[in-house]
């Protein structure tokens, strides 16, 4: 991390799980003069203030955008896409604008090559939502993807990198397209699997109620994120449609491999498939 001591005025639009965790992390270490929350609900912003996620708030971004050093958009992807042109219009000439959206290509296009915008995505979260679930250490030992355009100013990239590292994350810089293809596998597919498995288990449980009592750790681990916000994840899937469909098709091929080997009674091929997955996991964990 660089020697930056003070991030100045940080404006967080959408003080929920991620926005609240960013705010708490900065407020806790006193690395900003102000952390201003922006949202539509005075009640929720008051709760964020009470929990120490922000130092003040407003429901009107225009009041604070021009004087902000950093504006962080922590709303759903569809709202980031629709709001970003307005935010960039309101922001000051030296203001860095970034986001935490899980899909980058659509947001990249909405920025229209503005040199002040730096796409960002911290690889952290929870099936829980809202500022009540936020915590200052949420980003410790995580990866924060940074997706600048060819027009993004180096000073803005550095500012977002410093913020991410201050919050405990390691940073990686890549294009929005590469990001979206990667997270379709590592983040979006697991949500599809968790949702599908939970739906299947509940359907089977209707006629065989012992299923619920016969679950253990592996089932809990595999379905944890099924409890995430349906609105949020439908939004993410829609904005990363092409990469998610491509990934689901590839995963379907893996499932078909299991089906074919079981139907053929091919125990050797089945064992080789499990061995390949086991070896891949061990190798992956060492990296």
**Does position 252 have pLDDT exceeding 50, yes or no?**
yes
For residue 2, the model assigns a pLDDT of 45
Confidence of residue 1 (pLDDT cuts 50, 70, 90): very low
For residue 18, the model assigns a pLDDT of 95
**Does position 129 have pLDDT exceeding 80, yes or no?**
no
For residue 5, the model assigns a pLDDT of 55
For residue 206, the model assigns a pLDDT of 86
For residue 124, the model assigns a pLDDT of 86
Over pLDDT 70: what percentage of the chain? 97
Residues forming CATH 1.10.3660.10 domain(s) in the chain = 179-286
For residue 275, the model assigns a pLDDT of 97
| pLDDT tens, residue by residue, 197-237 | 999 999 998 889 899 999 999 999 999 999 988 999 999 99
Superfamily of domain 179-286: 6-phosphogluconate dehydrogenase C-terminal like domain (1.10.3660.10)
* For range 229-246, the mean pLDDT: 95
| pLDDT tens, residue by residue, 9-31 | 999 999 999 999 999 999 988 88
Q: Quote the Cα angle for 191-177-127, to 5°.
A: 20
CATH topology of domain 9-174: Rossmann fold (3.40.50)
**Does position 168 have pLDDT exceeding 60, yes or no?**
yes
DSSP β-bridge partners for residue 3:
none
pTM summary value = 0.90
Give the number of other CB atoms < 10 A from CB of residue 57.
Answer: 22
Q: Which residue has the higher pLDDT, 118 or 129?
A: 118
Residues forming CATH 3.40.50.720 domain(s) in the chain = 9-174
* For range 124-137, the mean pLDDT: 84
């Amino acid at each position: 991390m660089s020697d930056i001591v003070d991030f100045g005025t940080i404006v967080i639009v959408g003080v929920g799980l991620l926005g609240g965790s960013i705010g708490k992390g900065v407020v806790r270490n006193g690395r900003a003069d102000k952390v201003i929350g922006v949202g539509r609900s005075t009640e929720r912003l008051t709760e964020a203030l009470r929990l120490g996620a922000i130092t003040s708030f407003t429901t009107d971004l225009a009041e604070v955008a021009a004087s902000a050093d950093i504006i962080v958009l922590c709303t759903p992807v569809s709202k980031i896409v629709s709001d970003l042109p307005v935010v960039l219009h309101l922001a000051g000439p030296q203001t860095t604008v970034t986001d935490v959206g899980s899909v980058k290509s659509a947001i990249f296009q909405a920025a229209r090559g503005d040199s002040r915008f730096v796409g960002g995505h911290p690889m952290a979260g929870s099936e829980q939502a809202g500022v009540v679930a936020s915590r200052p250490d949420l980003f410790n030992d995580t990866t924060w993807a940074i997706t600048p355009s060819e027009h993004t100013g180096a000073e803005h990239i550095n500012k977002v990198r410093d913020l991410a590292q201050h919050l405990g994350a390691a940073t990686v810089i890549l294009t929005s397209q590469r990001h979206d293809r990667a997270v379709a596998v590592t983040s979006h597919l697991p949500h599809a699997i968790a949702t599908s498995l939970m739906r299947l288990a509940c359907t089977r449980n209707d006629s065989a109620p012992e299923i619920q009592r016969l679950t253990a750790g592996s089932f809990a681990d595999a379905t944890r994120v099924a409890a995430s916000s349906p609105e949020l994840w439908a939004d993410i899937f829609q904005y990363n449609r092409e990469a998610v469909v491509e990934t689901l098709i590839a995963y379907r091929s893996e499932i078909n491999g299991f089906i074919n080997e079981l139907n053929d009674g091919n125990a050797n091929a089945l064992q080789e498939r499990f061995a390949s997955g086991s070896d891949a996991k061990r190798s992956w964990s060492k990296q």
